[in-house]
Chains A and B, each alone.
Chain A
Amino acid sequence: MQIYLPIAEVSVNVFLLVGLGGLVGILSGMFGVGGGFLMTPLLFMIGIPPAVAVATEANQIVASSFSGVLAHFRRKTVDFKMGGVLLIGGLVGAAIGVQVFKYLKSIGQVELLVTLTYVIFLGIIGSLMFIESLNAIRKSKKPNSVYKKKKHNWIHGLPFKTRFRTSNLYISVIPPILVGLLVGVLAAIMGVGGGFIMVPAMIYLLGMPTKVVVGTSLFQIIFVTAFTTIMHATQNFTVDAILALLLLLGGVIGAQIGARIGVKLKAEQLRILLAIMVLAMCGKLALDLLLMPSELYSIRAGGH
């Protein structure tokens, strides 16, 4: 069954869109990532214009994140205080990111920089997570291994310390704000929620327990992507409501299933799966840059 998308101006299969939404929704619910880093390139592949794909994806992430976060609300695995602090940084970062994006656009090559940012960040984060979770799985199998207690590093020497009860942390607000800021900037440039950067940053930089990380990440992604949706809708007119509706129909259901699968898996297994997926997408994008394309020319209607 085909449907014509009013803003994207292409006709696509309804079930393909719902299916894609569902698949990415499952991942979203499992890992607490918005799934934008997977969905946006997938939408390019089925022929949705990039500008529409990026903007509509933001709207869809709002739905799947909201659906996912409700399950976490009930399990009380959302650290609202931490989420709020991250969000402050995130919104400031997103505003800066939009300006950086505009500047890159004015000097050309914005696509290359977006792809390179993807490859670099997906590569670094994917590899780090993969190695770390592999080590964690190995350690948990050894019977006499000593589990390291909380690490004390430079983060604990910073001022403005606050207690984050849900996360069981007593740290300065500066690192979460900086993490939020960095993720906000990258999210605006890459057109994603930024969960795949946020989740590892929360685990490894802030030392939050994995259980709380997913819900808290989803919580702040809702606000960042809602902000992005409004920006795209009012400035670029590129949010396609029909496309978003079909994607989120699959997405919200997927997120529910994903959240339940996530509970059943061990933290290390969850992390290693996410790492493999991040690395796979990184490899795909890197190949696109390295292999000679079959058509050297590309066309974009509407000029600049």
Chain B
Amino acid sequence: MLRSLTLIFAVLATALTAQESVIVGLSQSHVAITANFSGSEILVFGAVKRDAPVPEDASPLDVIIVIEGPLEQVTVRRKEKVFGIWINTESVDIDNAPSFFAVATTGPLADILSQETQQQHAIGVHHAVRLPDHDLDPEMESFSEAISRVRLASGLYSEREGIITLRSETLFDTRIQLPANLVEGDYTAKIFLIRDQQIVGETNLDILVRKEGLERWIYNLAHEHALIYGLLSLLVALVAGYGASEIFRRLRS
């Protein structure tokens, strides 16, 4: 596994207030999924850069870090009891559900940021799944909530409030776990600076999650040369079957 500490620094030049900006580094900007991949951990660390000292009467600064996987289409099905058995009755296709979603904050999300702003910037597990604006009937919402609920339970989504330590309103860091059932794609780390329920600074960094080595080779072969891959799979099966049979026959005699 790639464990080299690649440091990526991004400076946000155009902060909203032009007073505070955020400089962030990641322990790795590239996650390699190899055969023995069993999850990973990303260390997100950074500092707040200021032109002038913080005014005496300013409210405290908060930091929110969101790591989001690629958006994918998912089908959500709901079971109902029909004639005594539980069957899927309704299904809804939801277009923009992130495959992975992790939120870390310096404090309770509800206190830091208003619901509206949370929704607008897709901060918080309950806003991970983007619904089209015109489609706000409660049915649709119950389906999108199901995605958050099921994925929270499986560890693909997480929300850890108060996990980030912010020192002297300047330095912060946190570790975010990537689970073993990670899907490859382009991930984004978003770091928000919050003051007075307003986003005063924001920066985005890319994290590339890729299959590598044997994983990459098998995946490509299966998709690009499907027939050869299928025949190879059969050949392996036959050789293994013959091998086991021969070994056992020799063992007996």
A interface residue numbers (CB < 8 A to B): 1-4, 6-7, 9-11, 47, 59-60, 62-68, 70-71, 74, 108-109, 111-112, 226, 229-230, 232-234, 237, 239, 241-242, 244-245, 248-249, 252-253, 255-256, 288-293, 295-304
Contact = CB atoms under 8 A, between A and B. Distances in A.
Nearest to B34: A4
Nearest to B232: A241
Interface in B172-192: 180-184
Contact of B241 (A63, A237, A295, A299): A63
Contacts of B149: 295, 297
Interface of B: 33-39, 72-81, 84-88, 91, 93, 99, 143, 146-147, 149-151, 153, 180-184, 211, 214-216, 218-219, 222-223, 226-227, 229-234, 236-238, 240-245, 248-249
Contact of A233 (B84, B86, B151, B229): B229
A252 B249 CA distance: 13
Given A7-B219, A297-B78, A242 B35 contact: yes
A230 B231 contact: yes
Nearest to B72: A301
Contacts of A1: 36
B234 A226 contact: yes
29 contacts: A6-B216, A6-B222, A7-B222, A9-B182, A11-B37, A11-B39, A62-B237, A63-B236, A63-B240, A65-B241, A66-B242, A67-B240, A229-B233, A233-B226, A233-B233, A234-B227, A241-B236, A242-B214, A245-B236, A248-B237, A289-B87, A298-B76, A298-B88, A301-B72, A301-B99, A302-B75, A303-B93, A304-B75, A304-B93
A234 B230 contact: yes
B77 A298 contact: yes
Contact of B143 (A229, A297, A300): A297
The 10 residue pairs across chains A and B that have the minimum distance between CB atoms: A233-B230, A11-B180, A66-B241, A252-B244, A297-B146, A63-B237, A67-B241, A303-B73, A2-B38, A70-B245
A266 B149 CA distance: 52
Contacts of A241: 218, 222, 229, 232-233, 236
Nearest to A111: B88
Contacts of B34: 4
Contact of B234 (A74, A230, A290, A295): A230
Contacts of A70: 241-242, 245
A83 B66 CA distance: 59
Contacts of B244: 67, 252-253, 255-256
Contact of B75 (A237, A242, A252, A300): A300
Nearest to B151: A299
A290 B87 CA distance: 9
User: Which of A4, A248, A292 gathers the greatest number of chain B CB atoms within 10 Å?
Assistant: A4
A67 B233 contact: no
